[in-house]
Structure formats: structure tokens, C-alpha cells
Structure 1
Amino acid sequence: MKRIPVQTNKAPAAIGPYSQAIATDSLLFTSGAIPIDPQTGAIPAGSIEDHAHLVFRNLGAIAEAAGTRLDRAVKVTVFLTDITHFGRVNAVYAQYFTEPYPARSAFQVAALPLGAAIEVEAIIAL
């Protein structure tokens, strides 16, 4: 099986020793994406909705760099530092995916890198 790293400057660069995503013969595995503005390299001020939109736009840019689209996701994992944000994030999520919706898990976690409130990773069909 081939493992091809995917990199785009339309999404934030990795903040550690990992790839933005790895493509195999048929699937794209993204790393967790937090709401970093790819132009500034920082998490901008804003609501959980603003941050969720930024995360999904960044994941979409990575998917496009691999020759696919975010709405071809087969599995999505959402990490939140406050599970009470789930409904608000879910409303944003519904703007990026259509039926049949990908399988999904959502978890509350104690903390995320750079103090982010949300992190999302996806497995996307190529």
C-alpha cells in the first residue's frame, strides 16, 4: 500500500512531526484540524461556529489538494473542549455534509493544541 503525504498552503501547516493528511489507494486520512487561519498561523477570535467553519474549510482544502471533496467523507471525528457546543457545531457540520452522512463520533476532551475549542479529523474517499 502506498502512503502519499498531502500538503497544501490553503490549510495550516502541521505544528509537529505529522502530515496534513496521508492518501492511500482509495482513502485520505486527515490529521486533526484545529481552527488555525492558514494566512496568520493563529486561532482567530470568534464563536464556536466561526471556529467550526474554519476547521471544515481547512479540511476541505486538504481534501481538494488530494483530488477529492470533504463531502465524500466516510468517517468524521469531532473533539470539543465543551460538549455543550455540540448542537452549535452540529448545525455548522450539516452545512458541509449531505446524505448519506458520514459515520461520526464526537467527544469532549480536557484540552486541545493551542487552546483550541474544536478539532476534527476525517477519513475521505478518494
Structure 2
Amino acid sequence: MEKKAVQTDKAPAAIGPYSQAIRVGNLLFTSGQVPIDPTNGEITGWEIKEQARQVFINIQNLLAAQGCTLANVVKTTVFLRHMSDFPEMNEIYAEFFSGTIYPARSTVEVSRLPKDALIEIETITLIPE
């Protein structure tokens, strides 16, 4: 199977040698999304809820570039700077996945994220045929 890079200007540009997302067959693997506003390249807010919302907006825009929505996501990995932010992150997560079958998920605490973000999320998505 061939792999294809996916790119959109509606999500933050890669800040290193990686692709925003990679499509292989009917699977889409997004790189970790941090709460960067793609219009100005800056972190959105300094509270976990604001940052989580921006991350999900970025993910939605990446998925839309391949005709997908969050309902197509089968797996997420959430990286939190502080595990104490888990309840608030979980609240926003539930808002964005409302009405869908929740994807499988892993959540881990990390010591630091790019641009000192509080959250980063990567996804694996099943692209409808």
C-alpha cells in the first residue's frame, strides 16, 4: 500500500520534519496536534479547556481534508502536561465525541510538550469508502 501525506492550511503547519497526517489505504494517522491557532501560529489560551478545544478543532480540520469527522476516529492518544487536568480534558473530549461511539484511548502524562502546550492529541481514523 502506498502512503500519502495529508496537508491542510486549516491546521497548524508541521514545526519539524513530519507530515500533518499520513494516509495508508483507508486509515489516516494524524501527527500529534497541539493547541496552535493555524491563522497566527500561536498557542490558544493557557487553560486546559481552551487548549483542548483548539486541539479538537485542528483535528477536525485535518480529518475534513480527507472527508472524515470525529465519528470516524477509532483510536486517540492524549498527552497531558499535568494529569490533574484529566477531568477538564475529559469534559471537552466528551463534547467533541458526543453522539458517537467513543474511540479507544490512551492518556499519559508527559514532562513537556512542544511550545509548552498543556495537551497534545494524535488520532487513527478509519476513512469511509
Q: Provide the identity percentage.
A: 48
Task: Please name the residue that 1:33 is paired with.
Answer: 33
**SS, match of residue 94 in structure 1:** helix
The whole-number CA distance in structure 1 between the counterparts of 2:38 and 2:19 is 15
Task: Please name the residue that 1:120 is paired with.
Answer: 121
Structure with higher strand content: 2
| TM-superposition CA deviations, 1:15-63 (whole Å, max 9, x none) | 0000000011111000000000001101033421010000000000000
Once superposed, which parts of structure 1, at least 4 consecutive aligned residues long, lie more than 3 Å away? Answer: none
Aligned-pair Cα RMSD in Å? 0.9
The whole-number CA distance in structure 1 between the counterparts of 2:64 and 2:44 is 23
Shift of 1:115: 0.5
Moved more, 101-110 or 89-98: 89-98
Say yes or no: does 1:4 pair with 2:22: no
What amino acid does structure 1 have at the position aligned with 2:86?
A: F
| TM-superposition CA deviations, 1:63-86 (whole Å, max 9, x none) | 000121122100000000000000
State the TM-score, normalized to the length of structure 1. 0.96
Moved more, 22-31 or 92-101: 92-101
Q: Does structure 1 retain, via aligned residues, the 8 Å contact 2:52–2:89?
A: yes
The whole-number CA distance in structure 1 between the counterparts of 2:70 and 2:101 is 13
State the TM-score, normalized to the length of structure 2. 0.94
Count of residues in Structure 1 that have an aligned counterpart in Structure 2 = 126
Q: Which runs of 5+ in 2 are unaligned?
A: none
Moved more, 28-37 or 69-78: 69-78
Task: Please name the residue that 1:80 is paired with.
Answer: 80
Task: Please name the residue that 1:102 is paired with.
Answer: 103
What amino acid does structure 2 have at the position aligned with 1:89?
A: M
Q: Does structure 1 retain, via aligned residues, the 8 Å contact 2:71–2:100?
A: no
The whole-number CA distance in structure 1 between the counterparts of 2:55 and 2:71 is 14
What amino acid does structure 2 have at the position aligned with 1:78?
A: V
Q: Does structure 2 retain, via aligned residues, the 8 Å contact 1:71–1:96?
A: no
